[in-house]
């Protein structure tokens, strides 16, 4: 759990105080270690206030805050020609390096690659090899280079005003710096910041990924890839919370995670006698896992809605209806002392779960699924990142593993959706659920969206 941010002055003014402001506004993303680097001079501390007493002169700088979940290295990290900051996790770093942490692997990777390659080629190579979620910034040759993971799980926002250019893990701190319209960095792009301004280059084409996902895959390939994804995300993790509705997505996740982390518990929220609470109770009994529930009252929904709107910084009714139960369940998870959450996010995208897919002929559904995957960051991932970070929770999403997505996209569409009249869809995931010993009652249960399953939607609609 981290924040990344940086500032470049257009007028050669010192940026240190601006970096301090960003760290303070982002401390909810990491409050154990803080670091600042200004033009290659780097300092670290356990408190923002002690950093403030070590002013560094310079017009280009990076800032980082950290709350470690597992192996870590304090940041920023200097290398021979520059400085790196990183938010997220690279789950497969041990395949390429003997480094003790993914942050040191990133440092070694770019230290090596930038000796012989352009920054664009180095970033492309990294994106092709790294499996995880990340946002990374590199100070190199008086410029700052910023990029994020292929699916946009970890956020980056940027903007400028008359005095400086800045980027951050969230848009709010940038607005406080009088950058009125922060923009999201699109996945696959490289953001280049210098005193001359902002430049954006496309360094990874999603056609590259599509070309690797053509050869037909079997059900056994999918099962293997799924468990590899869960294994990577559960390594060195002592206990886990699963956001749980009792549907097929969260039940499959709970089954797999609990097989690798014995101390796995389930968390569900909803109105009294709501679909999700009832389903979660039945499914948790079947799995034999402890279930924590929070019954939401009508009187508290408006207050929860206002808290969510404050986090989101914009009004979108659909996003709000989803945010309220997510906020409530994350609050419950935090109260019970967990720091790592797992969810079934991404399942409807990669396995063809949305009813809208049935409006297309099967030979066009594949393109629609790809489109949904590559745009998931703008619909759900940004909202979920803000909410989980608000409660110091690290969110892991096994269905958005790069290799699993590719394997899933190699499964023929007609094994996901039988026909335009298929009301269940996600057939290959349901097959996996049955294969894992999950009952037909759960495996073949129709999808019910969170805002409706929790019962909050009809009440929140009356407030706005």
Average pLDDT, the chain: 93
Report residue 451's pLDDT band, with 50, 70 and 90 as the boundaries: confident
Residues 107 and 247 in one domain: no
Mean pLDDT of 214-238: 95
The pLDDT of residue 314 is 79
Residue 21 has pLDDT above 70, yes or no: yes
Residues 141 and 220 in one domain: no
Q: CB 300: neighbour CB atoms within 10 A?
A: 11
State which of 204, 233, 261 marks the end of a domain. Answer: 204
* Of 85, 120, 115, 111, residue with least CA distance to 7: 85
The pLDDT of residue 289 is 98
CATH of the domain at 255: 3.40.50.620
Q: Which two tokens stand for residue 252?
A: 């499959």
67 by DSSP, 3-state: which? coil
Residues 257 and 370 in one domain: yes
Residue-wise pLDDT tens digits, 46-68: 999 899 989 999 999 999 999 87
State which of 156, 180, 204 marks the end of a domain. Answer: 204
Residue-wise pLDDT tens digits, 250-303: 999 999 999 999 999 999 999 999 999 999 999 999 999 999 999 999 999 999
Ranges 5-9, 367-371, 433-437: which has the least confidence: 367-371
Report residue 72's pLDDT band, with 50, 70 and 90 as the boundaries: low
Residues 195 and 307 in one domain: no
Residues 240 and 110 in one domain: no
Residues 177 and 283 in one domain: no
Residue 1 has pLDDT above 80, yes or no: no
Tell me the residue range of the domain where 38 lies.
2-204
pTM of the model: 0.94
Q: Number of folded domains in the chain?
A: 2
Residues 177 and 284 in one domain: no
Residues 117 and 240 in one domain: no
Residues 44 and 154 in one domain: yes
Residues 192 and 237 in one domain: no
Residue-wise pLDDT tens digits, 397-408: 999 999 999 999
Residue-wise pLDDT tens digits, 133-189: 999 999 999 999 999 999 999 999 999 999 999 999 999 999 999 999 999 999 999
The pLDDT of residue 81 is 86
Residues 122 and 182 in one domain: yes
Residues 68 and 28 in one domain: yes
297, 303, 309, 312 alpha-carbon torsion, rounded to 10°:
-70
Q: What is the C-alpha to C-alpha distance for residues 462 and 464, in angstroms, rounded to an integer?
A: 6
DSSP annotation string for 87-144: EEEETTGGGT---SSHHHHHHHHHHHHTTTS-HHHHHHHHHHH--EEEEEEEEETTEE
CATH of the domain at 59: 3.60.20.10
Residue 98 has pLDDT above 90, yes or no: no
Residue 132 has pLDDT above 90, yes or no: yes
Beta strand 263-271 with 291-296 is parallel
Residue 71 has pLDDT above 60, yes or no: no
Mean pLDDT of 60-81: 85
Report residue 70's pLDDT band, with 50, 70 and 90 as the boundaries: low
DSSP E strand boundaries for 46-102: 60-66, 77-79, 82-90
State which of 188, 204, 220 marks the end of a domain. Answer: 204
Q: What is the C-alpha to C-alpha distance for residues 67 and 74, in angstroms, rounded to an integer?
A: 10
Q: What is the C-alpha to C-alpha distance for residues 395 and 355, in angstroms, rounded to an integer?
A: 26
Q: What is the C-alpha to C-alpha distance for residues 279 and 274, in angstroms, rounded to an integer?
A: 9
């Amino acid at each position: 759990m981290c924040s990344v941010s940086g500032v470049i002055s257009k007028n050669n003014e010192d940026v240190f105080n601006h970096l301090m402001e960003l760290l303070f506004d982002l401390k909810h993303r990491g409050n154990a270690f803080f670091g600042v680097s200004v033009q290659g001079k780097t300092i670290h501390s356990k408190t923002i206030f002690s950093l403030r007493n070590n002013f560094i002169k310079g017009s280009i700088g990076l800032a980082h805050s950290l709350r470690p979940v597992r192996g870590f290295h304090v940041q920023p990290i200097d290398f021979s020609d520059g400085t790196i900051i990183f938010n997220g996790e690279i789950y497969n770093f041990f395949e390429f390096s003997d480094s003790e942490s993914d942050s040191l692997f990133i440092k070694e990777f770019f230290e090596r690659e930038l000796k012989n390659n352009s920054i664009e080629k180095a970033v492309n190579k990294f994106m092709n090899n790294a499996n995880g979620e990340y946002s990374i910034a590199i100070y190199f040759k008086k410029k700052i280079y910023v990029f994020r993971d292929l699916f946009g799980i970890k956020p980056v926002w940027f903007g400028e005003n008359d005095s400086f250019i800045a980027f951050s893990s969230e848009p709010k701190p940038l607005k406080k710096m009088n950058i009125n319209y922060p923009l999201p960095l699109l996945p696959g792009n490289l953001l280049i910041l210098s005193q001359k301004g902002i430049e954006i280059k496309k360094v990874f084409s999603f056609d590259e990924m599509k070309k690797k996902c053509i050869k037909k895959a079997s059900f056994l390939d999918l099962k293997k890839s799924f468990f590899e994804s869960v294994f990577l995300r559960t390594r060195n993790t002592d206990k886990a919370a699963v956001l749980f509705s009792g549907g097929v997505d969260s039940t499959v996740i709970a089954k797999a995670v609990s097989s690798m982390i014995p101390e796995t518990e389930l968390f569900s929220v909803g109105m009294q006698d709501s679909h999700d609470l009832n389903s979660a109770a039945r499914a948790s009994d079947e799995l034999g896992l402890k279930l924590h529930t929070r019954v939401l009252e009508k009187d508290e929904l408006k207050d929860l809605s206002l808290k969510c709107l404050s986090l989101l910084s914009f009004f979108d009714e659909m996003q709000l209806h989803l945010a309220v139960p997510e906020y409530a369940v994350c609050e419950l998870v935090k109260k019970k002392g967990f720091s790592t959450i797992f969810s079934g996010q991404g399942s409807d995208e990669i396995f063809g779960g949305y009813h809208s897919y049935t409006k297309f002929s099967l030979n066009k559904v594949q393109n629609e699924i790809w489109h949904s995957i590559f745009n998931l960051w703008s619909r759900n991932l940004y909202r979920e990142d803000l909410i989980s970070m608000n409660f110091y929770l690290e969110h892991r999403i096994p269905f958005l593993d790069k290799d699993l997505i590719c394997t899933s996209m190699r499964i023929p569409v007609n094994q996901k959706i039988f026909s335009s009249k298929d009301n269940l869809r996600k057939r290959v995931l349901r097959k996996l659920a049955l294969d894992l010993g999950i009952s037909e009652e759960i495996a073949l249960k129709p999808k019910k969206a969170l805002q409706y399953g929790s019962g909050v939607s009809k009440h929140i609609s009356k407030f706005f």
